[in-house]
Structures are given as structure tokens and as C-alpha cells.
Amino acid sequence: MQIKKDLEKLTNKEKAEIFQKFFKTKKGEYGEGDIFLGISVSEQRNVANKYLNLSLSELQELLNSKIHEHRLTALLILIQKENNKDLINFYLKNTKNINNWDLVDCSAHKVLGEYLIDKDKSILYKLAKSNNLWEKRIAIISTFYFIKNNQFEDTLKISEILLQDKHDLIHKAVGWMLREIGKRDLEKEENFLKKYYKEMPRTMLRYAIERFEEIKRQDYLKNKV
């Protein structure tokens, strides 16, 4: 594929080594086996914009790749396509390939979130209860689109489901979404926090209260135990 050749030309070995560490690709880490070319996101966007007409079958080839930038560039193309049922089915079929936090974060709210805003959202609850780390992150990050449209209920319900999750990447994602609610409706966020902050993982709480005044933030942290 020409798009792979274009990406190959942008390879930066020094950056690739940095990315391998940053995205935790060692054995036993969450990104185990992921291969990087060392290409910046802005460079990948430039490449993606030249190939917006790629078919879903061509994007599938990119998403099947072990090379991280192939998958990310495919998603950068996907989010610019018309959002319909076929696209959603394609996205859900590929959750196994949307397997690092940046891949989830650039796409979930723009694909699933946008499509589901006025539809049945049961698929998000199914993903939230998955045993797969990335499907759980997709579930909560998809609700970012709802939050941007001042719809908070599903974010709060999915946050409850993920409250006791063991993975740091879920703690960060839930805390981030709660913080985003707080930017728009602080009372809604605080009602949730007052109910759950003592049982929340500390990282989740820290992310959620990051924008609070220091006195209030310290009060939550000190009273957690």
C-alpha cells in the first residue's frame, strides 16, 4: 500500500525507541509487542489527509498491522468518514486492534460517541463490563461526546461500573471524564464524588479533582482514608 510507504519514509528510529518505552511495549506491559516507526501525530494526520478515500477493507489492512502508526493513521482517516451503522460495526469489530490508549482516545468519542448520542447506548455498558482493557476504555471515552453535549448520565453510570477496576489506565480515563463533567456542571461532578470518593482509586480521584481549588482538592485527598 502506498500509504504504508509514505509512513515508512517518515521513520525516526530515535523517536521510535522513546515511543516504545512511553507506550509500555515490553513483555507483560499493556502495549506488549507494539511496534513504532517514531512518527509524530501531526505527521500522521498529514498522511491521513491524503488518503481519506481509502475503503474500509483498505483500512482493515492498516488496522491489522503490528505497526502502531499504521493503526493510528487508519483511525485518523476513519474519524473523518461519514458516521453510520456500517462504520460503527467496523469499529466494534476492530476493538482488538484499537489497543493502546492513544488509539482509543483519538477515536472512541468521535465514532461511537457521536453515533450513539441519540440512540440506544447499551453497547457501551457491554464494553464497560468487558474483560478487555481497551474495550472498557472505549466505553468511558466514548461518553466524552455526550459530555460535550451536556449529557452526563451515561458517563456517571459507566464510571460507577468501572469504579473498582484495577487498571491505572481506567482510573485515569474515568477521572478525566469526571473532570470534564465538572468543567460544565461542577455540582454534578461533586454529587458523584461525595458518594464515591472514599472508594475511588487515588489516581481516579486525583484526575477528577485536578482543577479544584487547592484547599478543596486537599480536603478530598485527606479525607479519602
pLDDT digits (tens, 9 = 90+) for 42-85: 999 999 999 999 999 999 999 999 999 999 999 999 999 999 99
Rounded CA Rg of the chain: 18
pLDDT at residue 224 is higher than 90: no
pLDDT digits 0-9 by tens, 5-26: 999 999 999 999 999 999 999 9
Nearest 5 degrees, angle CA 128-CA 129-CA 135?
50
> Any idea what DSSP says for residue 109?
I
Q: How far apart are CA 68 and CA 62, in angstroms?
A: 9
Please tell me the distance from the alpha carbon of residue 68 to that of residue 46, in angstroms, as a whole number. 16
Give tens-digit pLDDT for 76-128: 999 999 999 999 999 999 999 999 999 999 999 999 999 999 999 999 999 99
**If you average pLDDT over every residue of the chain, what do you get?**
96
Question: According to the model, what pLDDT value does residue 225 have?
Answer: 52
Share of the chain above pLDDT 90, in %: 98
* pLDDT at res. 111: 98
Question: Could you tell me the domains of the chain?
Answer: 1-81 (no CATH), 99-225 (1.25.10.90)
Q: What's this model's pTM, rounded to 2 decimal places? A: 0.95
- Here the cell at position 6 is 509514505
